[in-house]
Structures are given as C-alpha cells and as structure tokens.
C-alpha cells in the first residue's frame, strides 16, 4: 500500500499542472479530500485545480480554497487525480470532455468497495472510513507539514462520511487521524456545527413531505423524494439532507431506501443498511456502487417499476443476512 502512495506522490511532484476532481452531487468527504490535497500541493508551489461536476453545498464555504472549486476546469493538465469516486460515470461531464481526451495518467484514490479500478494508478482502500482520511498519508508522503488549512477540510471529510464518528466503519485509526488533524489546528466543534449539524429551514419542509411517504415493508423502510416536493420547499441544497439515515435507524428496519424520482423515467436510489447487512452488491448490480452500509445507483423506469424491482432485489440480498445489533 505504501508503495502506491509513494508512486502517487512522485507523479504529483513531477506534474506541471494537475486537476483534482471528485464525484457529482458532492458531499463533505469529496470536498474535503479535493481541498485538503489542493492545499498541500499549494504549499509545494504546485498548481492543482480543484474541480467538481456539480456546485458544492454553500455550507462548506468555510473551508480554505472553497472559492477556487470549479465545475468547468479550463486549460491543459498533465495529470488527473480522481477522489472518492468509484467509477468515471460519477465524474461526468468532466471525464468525457476534459480527462479522457487528454490521454494523460489518471490517479484513482478512493475507499468504495465497488471501485472499478479505472485509473492508471489505483489506490483503493475499502477499510478507510473516508477518502479524506487516506489523504493524510499522501500529505505525509509529499513531506508537507500538517497545518490547519489542510487539516480542516480533511477533518470535515472524516466527520461527514462517518456522520460524526457514528458509522460502524469508524476505527481507532479514524479517531487517531481526527486527533492528529485537531492537533494541527482544525476545530472539531466548528466542523460539527458548520457541516454536520446544519441545515436550512427549507430542508425541514422537505423532511415533512418525505415523512408522509414513508412505508415499512418487512425489514425495509422506504420513502420518496420528487423535484416537485423540492420546488414546494424552495429547492434546498443537498438532496434528501440525510433523511435516508432516519429510515435505517428504525428499530423494525434493516434497510432504508430513498427513491428520488427525477421525472425523466430515471430514479436515483439511495441505500442504507444496518451494520452486518451488505447492500453494496445490489447498488453495484444496478450500475451504481458504494459501501456495505451506504450505497446508491440510478435505475431507468417509472417510480413504481423501479421500486418493485429494487425492493425485490434487496429482499433477496438480505435474505440470510442478519443485523449485528438487533
Ligand atoms: P448517498 O446515498 O448519495 O449519500 O450515497 C451513499 C454512498 O453511495 C456514497 O458513498 C456514494 O458515493 C455512493 N453512491 C451513491 N450513488 C452512487 C452511484 N450512482 N454510483 C456509485 N456510487 C454511488
Ligand atoms: Mn463521497
Ligand atoms: Mn467517501
């Protein structure tokens, strides 16, 4: 593992101008990993452009370098670094328009168990609770001292992907990594308040609408989100705002599913599972990906068709699987 990190550090040091890119619908982990690595490279005088396919939620504006994040990277690049993305579809439209035509090396740094190893160089660690946690080792390999401007985005990534150190993939290594970032000057209280414990009033309006759609079918709790519901609430940022986590917290449920019916005969499906249950395979089989307890995909079809198909697949997948603590 340390071999590939040294190779990645070598490529970054050789590059003249690199593009750091993360997945669409950006979350705290991808934003933190992109901005933390960008700040470390800046310390070395290296030009690295931070990019995301979609605008990041405005609550992350407190992170150093947030204003530099672009959705339309311009100019030429001799190296590409993909962060927190399990496949190239999650990097679109930037992958097809900027990365593939350039014909330059692509470094793939990620922690999704479903990663398809699309890079020229792949560093994929499914045991890591976040990609941001992995970037600490890369900062060390680059020989850049850990400082607040690097540590704050990385701590944000760790906190958001572990939902405040609550997910079952949070290890003692995760806590040590967070301690180190706090020692470098990142405030855990600030990250908790600004990133994790923060939502607009409009999101509560949306939760109200989603609550009225919740159904419990056997061990599966599911709910629906539509663009019309979002519009009625003033289009809050951040999709479901973590509502899906509420579904899987139900004592009766082993799996939570959120169906985002985009209205164009395609439904985005979010998956959550209790510890001990693995739904990443279902999301992967449907063209998406994720982690054992958190995954996603987009499925063609009407809401009713997709819901019936996905529920059936999940039922089969979890038949014989047991939650650890219920
Ligand atoms: P979400 O429900 O959007 O928070 O996503 C849960 C997890 O699944 C995250 O780790 C995502 O990166 C991953 N994920 C969501 N949608 C997809 C997709 N279409 N393809 C691959 N991974 C996904
Ligand atoms: Mn992510
Ligand atoms: Mn992640």
Ligand 1 pocket member 296 (CB < 6 A): yes
Q: Which of 269, 261, 268, 271 is nearest to 302 (CA)?
A: 261
pTM for the full predicted model: 0.97
* Ligand found nearest the CA of 161: 3
Check residue 151 and give its pLDDT. Answer: 99
The residue with tokens 């941001």 is 132
Atom index in ligand 1 nearest the CA of residue 84 equals 12
Check residue 241 and give its pLDDT. Answer: 97
Check residue 2 and give its pLDDT. Answer: 82
Indicate the pLDDT class of residue 250, thresholds 50, 70 and 90.
very high
Peptide bond into 71 cis (omega under 30): no
Residues linked to residue 48 through DSSP beta bridges, in sequence order: 18
* Ligand found nearest the CA of 289: 1
Supply the mean pLDDT for the chain. Answer: 98
Percent of the chain topping pLDDT 70:
100
Check residue 1 and give its pLDDT. Answer: 53
Ligand 1 pocket member 86 (CB < 6 A): yes
Report residues near ion ligand 3: CB below 5 Å. 29, 84, 131, 161
pLDDT in tens, 39-87: 999 999 999 999 999 999 999 999 999 999 999 999 999 999 999 999 9
Residues linked to residue 47 through DSSP beta bridges, in sequence order: 17
Which domains does the chain carry?
Answer: 3-196 (3.90.1640.10), 201-324 (3.10.310.30)
Record the tokens describing residue 124, joined without a space.
């994929």
The Å distance, Cα 25 to ligand 1 centre, comes to 9
Q: Mapped to the 3 state alphabet, what secondary structure does 20-60 carry?
A: EEECCCCCHHHHHHHHHHHHHHHHCCCEEEEECCCCCCHHH
The Å distance, Cα 71 to ligand 2 centre, comes to 16
State how far the Cα of 271 lies from the Cα of 302, in Å rounded to an integer: 18
């Amino acid at each position: 593992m340390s071999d590939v990190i040294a190779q990645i550090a070598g490529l970054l040091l050789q590059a003249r101008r690199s593009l750091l890119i993360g997945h669409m619908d950006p979350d705290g982990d991808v934003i933190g990993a992109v901005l933390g690595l960008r700040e470390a490279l800046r310390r070395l005088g290296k030009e690295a452009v931070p990019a995301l396919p979609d605008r990041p939620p405005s609550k992350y504006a407190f992170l150093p370098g947030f204003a530099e994040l672009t959705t339309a990277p311009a100019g030429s690049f001799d190296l590409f670094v993909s962060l927190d993305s399990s496949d190239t579809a999650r990097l679109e439209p930037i992958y097809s328009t900027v990365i593939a035509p350039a014909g330059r090396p692509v470094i793939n740094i990620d922690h999704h168990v479903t990663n398809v190893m699309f890079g020229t160089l792949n560093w994929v660690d499914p045991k890591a609770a976040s990609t941001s946690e992995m970037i600490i080792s890369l900062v060390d390999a680059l020989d850049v001292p850990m400082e607040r401007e690097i540590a704050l985005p990385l701590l944000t990534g760790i906190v958001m992907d572990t939902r405040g150190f609550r997910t079952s993939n949070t290890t003692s290594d995760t806590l040590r990594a967070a301690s180190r970032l706090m020692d470098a000057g990142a405030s855990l209280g600030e990250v908790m308040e600004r990133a994790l414990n923060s939502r607009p009033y409009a999101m509560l309006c949306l939760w109200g609408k989603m609550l009225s759609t919740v159904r419990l079918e056997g061990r599966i709790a599911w709910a629906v989100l539509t663009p019309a519901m979002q519009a009625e609430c003033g289009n809050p940022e951040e999709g479901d705002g973590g509502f899906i986590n509420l579904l899987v917290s139900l004592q009766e449920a082993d799996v939570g599913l959120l169906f985002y019916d985009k209205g164009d005969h395609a439904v985005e499906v979010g998956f959550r599972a209790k510890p001990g249950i693995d739904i990443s395979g279902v999301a992967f089989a449907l063209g998406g990906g994720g982690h054992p307890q958190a995954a996603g995909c987009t499925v063609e079809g009407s809401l009713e068709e997709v819901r019936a198909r996905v529920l059936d697949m999940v039922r089969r997948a979890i038949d014989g699987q047991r939650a650890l603590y219920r």
